Structure 1
Amino acid sequence: MSGAPHVLVVNAGSSSLKYSLVDATTGASPGGGLVERISEQVGTVIHEGPEGEVRIEGAVADHEAAFALALAAFEEHGPSLAAYDVVAVGHRAVHGGDRFSAPVRVTDEVCRAIEDLVPLAPLHNPANLEGIAGARALFPDLPHVAVFDTAFHQSLPEHAWTYAVPRSWASEHAIRRYGFHGTSFSFVSRAAAELLGKPLEETNLIVAHLGNGASITAVRGGASVETSMGMTPLEGLVMGTRSGDVDPALHAHLHRELGLSLDEIDTELNRNSGLKGLAGENDFREVLRMRTDGDEGACLAFDVYCHRLRKYVGAYYAVLGRVDAVVFTGGVGENAAPVRAESLAGLAELGITVDAERNAAPNGEPRAISPDGSRVAVLVVPTDEEWEIARQAVEVIGAS
């Protein structure tokens, strides 16, 4: 048995289950995979182990059945879980509201609290709960730890999380800014400070997590002090299918003028807007290809995306007062050099510049893409949310 503590990291969606065995010390993953089409007659397991990728089909009635298929894949195709010191199951939980400011060991009471928060995350929290229930049924003797996307942002000062609406809305209905992508921001902030050679508690960062979902956070001394996503993941930056910031009166206008219901408007803003709404495509790689070919919609989508991001960088510079680094992470942030260059263009007066050659060079390692001696470093730091969940899970069970 491997002596290093390992955590089975789980990310449960409504019809999928992502799982990964992670060394909590090094972040290495000897195996993992994805179960797709849960609740359909035939589901698929895409498992990655010592043999490489294998695909297995089988009935997946629910999340417990999905876990059973995942365990069978580990036993048949490796690595065998029995060969590792598996100390916990770590669960990604999307919305912890204002109840959870840190990861917690899962209990029946914690599950009830997550269920109480379903109105704030109706698409995510029910799936997270199903994943937790399935894993607890199959791993009854292991501790289970919930790691919340929102927890990192519980350090927001009151003036940053408060919306200028009637105060009773916050006190009675939990209407406030929560923020998301917390596990990514936690991991990347710590890694960026290490890359800078500075203690995290002395470091001011602007971190942009850019994927199909995207948000940006001002991090002072390792704590979130401002973030772009709000009560839901819709607010803030332009995303793959989400609009980000719009006039709050847009809902009433669309209802009056087009007769759209609130649910229809919510669907349009979450699933048919952003890059998809402007360019007809939400995959940024495809948007960049279309832009190169001169597609008008893709050119506009790129410009709007980068303009919104640049605006937030400037705003968060003002929030922090002093910035040590602007950090890019996530699939787009790590791989789309044109986005990094364009979103920071014109910020030289703030000490923010990008070295064109460094920015364009393909490299999967944490690195600086700013010129040597820049007042503000520009960094690219690959995120590893699975490792962060594993690390936090081990901290929780160690403390308990």
Structure 2
Amino acid sequence: MAGAREEQPLLQVRKPLSACLEMKFMGEKIVSSLKKAFIAAAICLLPISGQAAEVTWRVPTSVPEGSPFYVNFLQRFAKNVDVMTEGRVAIEPYGAGVIVPALQVYDAVVDGTVEAGHSSPTYLLNKDPINGIFAGFPGGMGPEAFISWIYEGGGEKRLKELREGEGFHSMIVGIGSTEILAHSNVPIRSKDDLKGLKYRTSGPWAEVMRDYFEAVPTVVPAGETYTLLQRKGVDAVEWAPPSANLSEGFHQVAKYIVVPGVHQPSFLWEVVTTKETWDKLPDDLKAKLEAAAKLTTYEGLTNFYAADIKAMAEYRSGANEIITLSPEFVTELADAGRKWAQKKADEQKASGKPTMSEILADYLAFRDAWNKERSYLITE
């Protein structure tokens, strides 16, 4: 199974076999007893980390096996966990549909079908719009600001508190770079081009497209997106950063590539398990799992950055027309996204649920402070 902990080779030894057979007994002559020689050889042939895992978690994700989110986030997490726990915890990744459908990962954890699940808060938006803050929304923070808010500005703590209220323990396992706004069969350059546009999307952007720009959003799992675009079941699709989209082949079936990805400046994926499952772990393993998750998040983001540069270069050298939206249109789209988020927060507060309003205020305050002082940064 891809991503599962690899077994140590049988013949991985602590010292050469010949050296082991030269062991001395009580400082006297070399042991010649056949029985003792075989015992010494057996001890030396034991693998360094031959102990079976103390904990094994089956972890389905919301994307197909082999996709960039599967490899860059979940499979990377499995490897980091194996290293940090020295094989005591085994994470077994499963692609969408192998154990549970793509959009039912959180439910499968609640039901006890699996020990943990890997997915994005964007797929919980229909249950609670508060998830849009963590999923990433139009007009929100880009990757550098977002990851700083998550780990240094209280974002991670907020997400953990939210999930605890739902009976989960959450570990952030993946923050992504900016996405491509659309691979499209029709050009998109202005607000007028969005009206009536059949657009495969999800999360906050789907609601912004519908409510503010009269587009027609369609939500389908990742594995169905290519076929939908190829058969012109939609006019345009958005899915992921440039490098992830490249492997999906969207550029091969749609002429236009539209940037920048104002709809999804960054995004977050998490591994969730039930509070009960988490509480059963020894404290030392909890700390190592959290560390593996954080390491995975940083490694995954820099991996996307490097791969995206290569992907964009390949797009530009190909047959596609790359459309870069005007700064004015980008601002219009971003403003609509922030209006959506504020409207949802206000509605929740009016109904007696102030949490989204509080988290959004923290998020926007960090964003404003970042933008106010970012002039010192060199981003070339």
- Larger strand proportion of the pair: 1
Smaller-chain TM-score bracket:
0.3 to 0.5
- Larger helix proportion of the pair: 2
TM-score where L is the length of structure 2: 0.32
Larger radius of gyration: 2
